[in-house]
Structure 1
Amino acid sequence: MDDRSGVGFDKDMTTAPNTLARPVRHPLRTGVLLLATVTTGMTAGVYTDWSNTIMPGLGDVDDRTFVTAFQALDAAIMNPLFLGVEFTGSLLLIALALVLHLRSGRRATLVWLSVALAAYLVSVVITMGVNEPLNQQLRSITELDTDADYTAARAILDEARWAAWNTVRAFATLTAFASLAWTLVTHQRR
């Protein structure tokens, strides 16, 4: 007996006897969401490491060591993996995941994806508005000979400001990561 007008009939359910309804799978949505989560987690890890270990460690060294190490770390992070996959890729993947889920009608998923995108955008604004300009100022200094030169270079970076805003962007990317992780959970629920 097939009563399609009855209460409880779901268009995804089959009418064959003794079969269970199977949810419709969306591998592209799931794949993009998974990649967004992984790349955002990687970026959150980088910012958190800078806040939790690198800047406190550099804070205890002399000016010459600080400037030399910071410049070397800054040069090393300017690579295709971080800039292309983690930093930019995360933003694009979160946005794509949101677009792919717009027609799903799943409000919880859309809310958490929106939170993730907003939080990640906060980290991008901080990076481009605070941390990167400070990095660029330190990058532009090439002639360092005396201890006074290194002291002046360290002052140009404005270490306390850089570290404080990096902590804010670490929290922002951690918020984005947690939101994406929860989105993966809600995405799989029917």
Structure 2
Amino acid sequence: MHDVLLGVALVGATITTGLTAGVFALYAHTIMPGLRKVDDRTFIRSFQAIDRAIINPWFMAGGFVGALVLTLAATVLSLREDPLPWLGVALVLYAFTFVATIAVNVPLNDALKAVDPDGDVDLAAVRREFGEARWAAWNLARTVASTGAFACLAWALVVFGGATG
């Protein structure tokens, strides 16, 4: 039963971490470069719409938070198992991803969401204050960390399969 629980947690952690890494990578190589080319009002409206859309149960539970919970569960379940070192590294990398998101990206997102792009506001100043470069740099950091976590989890699956097979 223990091997089944560990296998389920490990597969779930790998899938959810991979999906989350993909979302962050999509921001890095598609969304932010695309938004960089638009005027201030379009940038603010578009970013607000994307940010509101991503806060949904599929992403939050099935990806972002789920990846942390499942990686933690797999790590705890493997305390005396061969994949533990890979799971430990994956957990640290994904924990960095989670903390960076909560500490940096989310507050920047929330500040931008609070702005009425149709109100009496200097949109260029709002965009500058948002700090696209800072947001993108932290997004790149969480993309690299979550992709590293995904790679560690994938290898942990190989190690787990070799140990049980």
Deviation at 1:132, TM superposition (A): 0.5
Q: 147, 161, 182: which is aligned to 2:134? A: 161
Rounded to whole Å, the distance in 1 between the matches of 2:106 and 2:117 is 20
**Any stretches of 5+ residues in structure 1 without a counterpart?**
1-23
Question: Does the CA contact (< 8 Å) of 1:34 and 1:184 recur in 2?
Answer: yes
TM-score, structure 1 as length reference: 0.81
Over 2 Å off, 4+ runs: 142-146
Using CA pairs under 8 Å that are at least 6 residues apart, name the structure with larger relative contact order, 1 or 2: 2
**Any stretches of 5+ residues in structure 2 without a counterpart?**
none
- The number of aligned residues is 163
Deviations 1:105-161 (A, max 9, x none): x2xx11100010000011111111110110111111126346x63212212211110
Answer with 1 or 2: which has the greater Rg: 1
- Identical aligned pairs, as a percentage? 47
CA RMSD of aligned residues (A): 1.6
TM-score, structure 2 as length reference: 0.93
Question: Does the CA contact (< 8 Å) of 1:134 and 1:156 recur in 2?
Answer: no
Structure-2 residue corresponding to 1:60: 37
Structure with the higher fraction of residues in helix conformation: 2
Rounded to whole Å, the distance in 2 between the matches of 1:79 and 1:169 is 20
Rounded to whole Å, the distance in 2 between the matches of 1:168 and 1:143 is 29
Structure-1 residue corresponding to 2:115: 141
Deviation at 1:25, TM superposition (A): 8.1
Q: Does 1:171 align with 2:144?
A: yes
AA at the equivalent of 2:97: S
Deviations 1:57-111 (A, max 9, x none): 100111111111100000000111111221111000000001111133x2xx111
